[in-house]
Amino acid sequence: MKQRRDRQQGMPPILERYELKFVIPEHMVDPISDFASVYCTLDKYSQITDGLFYRVNNLYFDTPNFLFLQRRLEGVENRFNMRIRSYGEEGNLPCFFEIKQKRVNIIKKFRAGVHDEDWPVMFEKSDYDISGKTRREEVGNKELFLRLAHSYNAGPRVLTQYKRKAYVSDVDDYGRVTFDMDLRYMPEERYNVRPDEARMIPNDDVMAFDPDPVGNIILELKCYSTQFPLWMIDLIRYFDLSRRSFSKYITGLRSVTELCRYDPGIRQSALGVFI
């Protein structure tokens, strides 16, 4: 049991990993879960949530001319995105500053937890003590997030929310299996990670996913870039899964008015390309 508890302690501040995405129909969630449960345990959030699916909220940042989006659509090999993540229906603290850098097929993730209710102030006050209420080993990641936000003049653009069931590997140093569903979003330019039910727009539309076979569940397999578990390979083969790309950020931006005004061509690309 000690190994299981240790693996539930959370993500390291800096992590290099593979992220393999698949789109599956809902009826495959249970059999894939059964397969994964031989090697994994439900993560700490699923364990305490009725129905096992908990809410994840992501506030995505971009530049005024959507430079980060353009880089994704163009398939730039070295690119990154920025988001602030919270968990639960209300998006309560802590929240997490995250930078995801992609180089070819490897994702490098920088993460810093934030416990200060007044965290939006750090984007406005240069003398704000960013080390307060943050783990010492994560301070550098928070500094990097703020530095990139100021350098690129990046700010909030869209808030996405979805339900997630997640498993943590019991047999590997690091491994996760996640199922995401019920994707929703709202345009957001404030430093806010709490969804507003009156403004949330459902985006769990089959047209945003693969039409054949029909599926609207995003399955992800995640592991260290230096160690790909054999059981994940077996899972892919057993269920005959076909890898594909899917961006919750791009999907959430499909109908954002500001993006349409900026460049209708970008909007058209966002409708049909998910990278």
- 212-217 contact pairs (CB < 8 A, 24+): 213/25, 214/25, 215/23, 215/24, 215/25, 215/26, 215/28, 216/23, 216/25, 216/26, 216/181, 217/23, 217/24, 217/25, 217/26, 217/28, 217/29, 217/179, 217/180, 217/181
Over range 75-88, report the average pLDDT: 94
33: helix, strand or coil: helix
Confidence tier at 249 by pLDDT (50, 70, 90): confident
Angle at CA 204, nearest 5°, toward 86 and 200? 50
92: helix, strand or coil: strand
Confidence tier at 138 by pLDDT (50, 70, 90): very high
Q: What pLDDT is stored for residue 51 in this prediction?
A: 96
Confidence tier at 104 by pLDDT (50, 70, 90): confident
Report cis status (omega within 30 of 0) of the bond before 213.
yes
Report cis status (omega within 30 of 0) of the bond before 195.
no
What percent of the chain stands above pLDDT 70?
84
Residue 205 has pLDDT above 90, yes or no: no
Give the integer Cα–Cα distance in Å for 123 and 43. 32
Whole-number average pLDDT of the chain: 86
Confidence tier at 207 by pLDDT (50, 70, 90): very low
**Residue listed under structure tokens 């009725």:** 50
222: helix, strand or coil: strand
Residues listed for the chain: 275
Residue 1 has pLDDT above 50, yes or no: no
Give the integer Cα–Cα distance in Å for 152 and 170. 40
Do 54 and 257 meet the contact criterion of CB atoms below 8 Å apart? Answer: no
Residue 147 has pLDDT above 90, yes or no: yes
Task: Catalogue the E-assigned strands of the chain.
Answer: 14-24, 40-42, 54-62, 78-87, 92-103, 106-114, 155-169, 175-187, 201-202, 217-224
Confidence tier at 273 by pLDDT (50, 70, 90): very low
Tell me the one-letter amino acid at 79: R
Residue 210 has pLDDT above 60, yes or no: no
Read off the DSSP letter of residue 207.
G
- The count of other CB atoms within 10 Å of the CB of residue 181 is 15
Q: What pLDDT is stored for residue 144 in this prediction?
A: 96
Residue 264 has pLDDT above 70, yes or no: no
Q: What pLDDT is stored for residue 6 in this prediction?
A: 52
Residue that wins the pLDDT comparison between 96 and 253: 96
Over range 135-154, report the average pLDDT: 94
